[in-house]
Structure 1
């Protein structure tokens, strides 16, 4: 009778557990990292690099926003983030429209400001 590759046979030890399904990273022991350990390491890296405080979870917002700005389909972003609905994903990406409105306001206000030409400027 054929056996499934990796399945334990009658007298062989059970297969060693592999990485946890859905876990993006695992320790060399193939056990998943504890979320607090990942968060602590991220915070240390941010601090050591002299960056302003940012949460690891904020990177999801950034990724969704950049993907949407680059033209990615909302459904694809939803699947990547693991959201159950596109409405949840749209909350992440709605900031793009808000930024466009605010940019237009700032540019309109800047046009109202008088400017002096610098000497030697063309």
Structure 2
């Protein structure tokens, strides 16, 4: 009887545990666009197209009014070149990740460590 209960428990846990198909998720157009924006931002930082100011007060000021327009204004005031383009890309990237997670609710049903591992695989493998 004890073995029967253990086998039933294992079978049920395998049945309810969803398998995430990482290969299929990599082909999602929203994720592809997200990765393209991520690469654009990274290339811009490497080429010094986007150079963030070294002022810690910028993010503190942004925290009091967290809007796209406020961040553009703060970065422009601190002398960042291409601040408008950079902020637009950052906000688009954030929106795309929210859209991706909304489109794939199975990712929100798994534990945080597994979710982080899957997202890392999707973005960097």
Fold-level match, TM-score > 0.5?
Answer: no
Of Structure 1 and Structure 2, which has the larger fraction of its residues in helix?
A: 2
**Which has more radius of gyration?**
1
**TM-score, normalised relative to structure 2:** 0.28
Report the TM-score, using the length of structure 1 for normalisation: 0.29
Q: Which has the higher contact order (CA 8 A, sep 6+)?
A: 2
